[in-house]
Chain A
């Protein structure tokens, strides 16, 4: 505030409240680094995190988000503008935590200097009037003054106080590490953030579905989905490979959770690099396989019926395990088969797989009664015509482009449906060929990821906890003992001051007085 009363030179004729740019910056810095701002930012951060837990997040659950968007056409554009579908990447969320980090840095740096000065500080000179402190006590003793002070020195040393000895008093202080704890805690928050950011920038996460017996080698073309951090480079992919030799699970057949499977186990053999020896690993939930910096997780499984299509000429135009995707936990699954090379016309199959098939009279259709493949069945509709695969446009392997096709129907117009159990073969009408269900394979969904910085984040958070413990439970306090000759004996005054706020030092005073009086003093009653 520059006014005529200010100490500034007279040529500075700014309006009151007007700041130079430098002053403005300093003012901003002061505001940002003030405790109150930090507090407000903390609460704001909590508040800002709320919408992300209620509105579906595209980064967490993409399908649910798009469903929600389809259901709320009016709100969607508004929400999109506000970044409410990716709250934790949004500008406003980032702004809050970046400001918070700034505030934190602004808080730590000056305090570190204060602390560095403080750590060497001697306990302050004993106040003249100890009885004015809220927690104090005094007693008379016949002991000599020096004896009392020596005893006080020993007692305080035993309690690990730092001391200054004065002529008639001992001044002591402890709890210097509280501030260290505090600083460590704040610094570690920064460390955690660095670790977290590294994971986001340099890490990746990818997934692949492998039919049991198939192998995977770690390069980009082998992934079904791949989600890299923005600074991830494909060179960071480690040259390992693995094969899923077998997959097993225990299916519960009784009890309240009958139908649930447990003890999933994908037996892998893997090589860390093309030249290294092959090793075995049982990949299970909660037991990822670590290869170098990469981790391999088992996150899903399903069935892949082995289906063969022979065309009208008897040529095998499609054969192999076909991944069907489960739609619920009974593992009723959906999938498609495409035979674009079939003659006389291309053949597409689309339908369901039931691991344990059952028929519901209620709905008039099949359903899966159990997730284990006790009585498997595939039930598919047949499409003929142009499957749209010659245009070069990419297609999903889990859907048929039916625009150029016609569904095969029976004479009465009902859809022509083929129901196959393993070993069954059905001959399609009109000389189209045959479809057979030769057997059943399983597949596993394997997730592969690199999370660089995870150890940094873990170290940070552990340090934060240690710092927190220090800053919460180390109780800095000052204690003074003064002895004065009075009459025949010595008057001893003890006082303590809590410096943490919330500490209770009356107990400390009592305990110290008891220690000073020692066993030879049977009468502690003259304590005031």
Chain B
């Protein structure tokens, strides 16, 4: 198969899996809406106190034919929804693999936002499908499917980028390790965040109609008990946190050191990954020491998931200096379209020409990195007349001062070696 064929296969698979997710969502909606007619039996939602329950509580009491028919219908649609989700996950996997095969050379499909999002939603859905039976996650079904479908739509509509080879800095096996762990942690934190949000919703509902659960028929009433939601949320976070630590504080710095020569740069992505880490550390800390369970912990978990997703998408629109600037979408300053020279959204690559291609604000970063005598750099200014720095961002650290010693210019063209920091 040609790369183009792989690419179109990938696009078709993604479209198809979106459709199947949609059908799965419909099935679950039918399931849950018909469940509304069936009252939740007292305590049924919490029959399994010894495990992580989550099975949909269904009365099988003597309420008559109507209920059992509704129950049967519910079961059929619930099962249908789950099977459709499984199918969608499989199709999405095909889409992912094809995406990797479409590139030349073949690579892991984690080169840009679209591909990350595709993989992230796949991991969320896959974890859900795998853990469905074990943790009885049926109650999560409509939420997870709706979430995956929505994010997938966002990816296809706003984040889509054609298949392209990786930029140079991404060509490292750390890509696999770093990104896989980041995506897994993101999946776990997202599921944990969903659980925490449901905890809050259920907590409010419980406080509101404390006059007896017998007549409650809605979705919230069928969620597991608050304690169970709280525990599931904790376990998801406890799983996600070490993985996140591994991703952003071990593999990230190692790779950064190799590619950018410095293991921690206070790059906006790094800062927000750190913020997310700190918030989740506070969450775990609060749970184990301050005894914050339930509501406070759930709120903290939601703050954490907000920082996580802000880091993934939001920060790209606030800061353009990130080395991780895979936000893309910024128009090229030069007439790229007339030239047929691509200046388009790019993956993680930092726009040093070595990892060239960047959004325009990062163009020519090498220029800056190389020289840009920065008038505000005290060391440079003292020893070197400020020159108009080339447009573009300067180097990572201090703008270098290529101090020009008068008179030596001709003898040593392009070179004047007064180390600015020493001269000053």
Contacts and interface: CB of A to CB of B under 8 A. Distances in A.
Question: Do A and B come together as binding partners?
Answer: yes
B49 to A, nearest CB: 7
Interface stretch (B57-65, B120-128, B395-403): B395-403
Chain B interface size range: 35 or more
A445 B369 contact: yes
B354 A207 contact: no
Interface stretch (B25-33, B131-139, B167-175, B211-219): B167-175
B69 interface: no
A196 B384 contact: no
Interface in A177-216: 196, 199, 205, 207, 209, 211
A448 B342 CA distance: 32
B342 A256 contact: yes
B333 A52 contact: no
Contacts of B287: 501-502
Contacts of A464: 245, 249
Interface string A13-38: 00000000000000000000001101
B374 A395 contact: no
A133 B279 CA distance: 34
B419 A220 contact: yes
Nearest to A346: B410
A244 B374 CA distance: 27
B320 to A, nearest CB: 8
Contacts of A395: 384-385, 387, 404-406, 409, 416
A118 to B, nearest CB: 16
B161 to A, nearest CB: 8
A398 B371 contact: yes
Nearest to B321: A61
A284 B287 CA distance: 46
Interface residues of A, number: 129
Interface string A296-329: 0111111010000000000001111111011111
A252 interface: yes
B370 A257 contact: no
A60 B51 contact: no
B363 A449 contact: no
A527 to B, nearest CB: 12
A209 B263 contact: no
B193 interface: no
Contacts of A461: 245, 249-250, 253
Given A222-B417, A300-B370, A394-B418, A288 B364 contact: no
A64 B386 CA distance: 16
Interface in B238-273: 238, 241-242, 245-246, 249-250, 253-255, 257-268, 271-272
B288 interface: yes
B321 A317 contact: no
A286 interface: yes
Contacts of B100: none
B407 A49 contact: no
Contacts of A468: 241-242, 245
Contact of A320 (B319, B334, B413): B413
B404 A396 contact: yes
Contacts of A49: 271, 274-275, 278
Contacts of B289: 35, 38-39
B208 interface: no
A457 B272 CA distance: 20
Contacts of A263: 168
Nearest to A319: B413
B54 interface: no
B377 interface: yes
A63 B368 contact: yes
Given A397-B416, A506-B50, A61 B264 contact: no
Contact of B387 (A35, A52, A226, A396): A396
Nearest to B173: A286
A56 interface: yes
22 contacts: A45-B278, A49-B275, A54-B268, A58-B376, A60-B266, A220-B419, A225-B395, A225-B402, A228-B421, A256-B161, A286-B169, A286-B255, A325-B366, A329-B356, A341-B410, A369-B341, A389-B406, A392-B407, A394-B403, A396-B386, A399-B373, A502-B234
Interface of B: 49-52, 104, 161-165, 167-169, 171-172, 174, 231, 234-235, 238, 241-242, 245-246, 249-250, 253-255, 257-268, 271-272, 274-275, 278-279, 281-282, 284-291, 293, 307, 315, 318-319, 321, 333-335, 338-344, 346, 351-358, 360, 363-364, 366-377, 380, 383-407, 409-410, 413-423
Closest 4 CB pairs of A and B: A225-B400, A399-B387, A300-B366, A396-B387
